[in-house]
Homo-oligomer: A and B are copies of this chain.
């Protein structure tokens, strides 16, 4: 039988799913053992015990200096920035994307500009951002917004534009004004897509967050990683990276659940 037609059984499926993760862990353990064998003070791949000690230090006991549970205060600081940045970007993308997608005048004037903006490398603009907005939360949030909003806007405008013209005309025959078309026909149809677009931007948003926190911050996941990087404290960096990944995966799942819960019809459409 062709491989294309062979399907793993239920039990085997679970096993196959875990296999690459197990392989990753195994590779790590072996690598770590080899390096530590050669140089017991090696810091690059800490042993499980060292990792656990690191995790305890950052997550399970307060920092002796500030009395804060580092991982949690860092997470709170970062998530706040992330939520603010992504929130603002989403609102911008929604408003601008709908307007550009719907109104020919705006499309003519802003379409190319937004495409252009989405190509500007935001990291290179960091100095300007910090100088104009100062070093507070504003600049960090703004970097996230600049990094993800143009792409989300572009995507949304495209989706709006893809709504069949027939539907818009139909709404017009139901006496809708431009405003009502936007509000009751286009907005609800692109909201699920907006959430999907948001999911796709989670990765880049974390990236910009880390980059911004690397430059100036006194808390945050990226801040901590860059702070301890000077000492190659991989026993802190690995747990932080794993934690960030976990947060991103959870956010991804949560947003998709939200979409499916709030817009049940968007699942039906997909199947059709």
Contacts and interface: CB of A to CB of B under 8 A. Distances in A.
A119 B56 CA distance: 24
A21 B113 contact: yes
Interface stretch (A58-66, A68-76, A83-91, A203-211): A203-211
Contacts of A116: 21, 245, 249
Contact of A119 (B44, B123, B181, B248): B248
* Max chain B Cβ within 10 angstroms of own Cβ: one of A8, A172, A240, A252: A8
A8 B19 CA distance: 58
User: Interface of chain A, helix or strand or loop or mixed?
Assistant: helix
Chain A interface residue count: which class?
35 or more
30 contacts: A2-B172, A2-B178, A3-B103, A3-B105, A3-B178, A4-B102, A6-B103, A7-B105, A8-B105, A12-B108, A16-B108, A16-B109, A17-B112, A17-B113, A19-B109, A21-B113, A44-B127, A115-B249, A119-B245, A119-B249, A120-B241, A120-B244, A122-B207, A123-B210, A123-B214, A124-B237, A124-B244, A127-B232, A128-B234, A211-B211
Interface of A: 2-4, 6-8, 12-13, 16-17, 19-21, 44, 102-105, 108-110, 112-113, 115-116, 118-125, 127-128, 131, 151, 168, 172, 177-178, 181, 202-204, 206-207, 210-211, 214, 222, 225, 229, 232, 234, 237, 240-241, 244-245, 248-249, 252
Given A4-B178, A6-B104, 11 more contacts: A4-B181, A12-B108, A13-B108, A20-B110, A119-B248, A120-B241, A121-B207, A124-B225, A124-B244, A127-B232, A151-B203
